[in-house]
């Protein structure tokens, strides 16, 4: 169950990260938490990596938590 609870912040972070292009830069902003954006060069995929990486880590933790719970029950 601990892994499932650990997944919640990653999924929420993935939901609230907003990647966008600003001039010659690719930026992402965490809505509700940050006032300024984090920017990278135009060719960078870092904003998308942060957004979808957080979601992937969160979903992997949920899956691992479910397997752990099933294993503890003996199913």
- How do residues 16-56 score in pLDDT, each as one tens digit? 999 999 899 999 999 887 788 999 999 999 999 999 999 99
pLDDT band at 75, cuts 50/70/90? confident
Query: How far is residue 52's CA from residue 73's CA, in Å, rounded to a whole number?
Result: 32
> Can you state the angle between helices 2-16 and 46-73, rounded to 10 degrees?
160
pTM for the full predicted model: 0.83
- The residue assigned the tokens 């933790």 is 61
Q: What pLDDT does residue 13 have?
A: 93
Q: What pLDDT does residue 1 have?
A: 79
H or E, element range at 25: strand 25-30
> Which strands form 38-41's sheet, in the order they lie side by side?
17-22, 25-30, 38-41
HSE of 38 in the Cβ direction (CA atoms, 13 Å)? 17
């Amino acid at each position: 169950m601990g892994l499932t609870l650990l997944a919640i912040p990653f999924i929420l972070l993935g939901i609230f990260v907003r990647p966008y292009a600003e001039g010659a830069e690719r930026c992402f902003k965490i809505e509700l938490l940050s006032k300024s954006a984090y920017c990278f060069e135009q060719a960078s995929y870092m904003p998308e990596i942060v957004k979808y990486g957080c979601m992937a880590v969160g979903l992997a933790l949920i899956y691992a938590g479910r397997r752990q719970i099933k294993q503890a029950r003996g199913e």
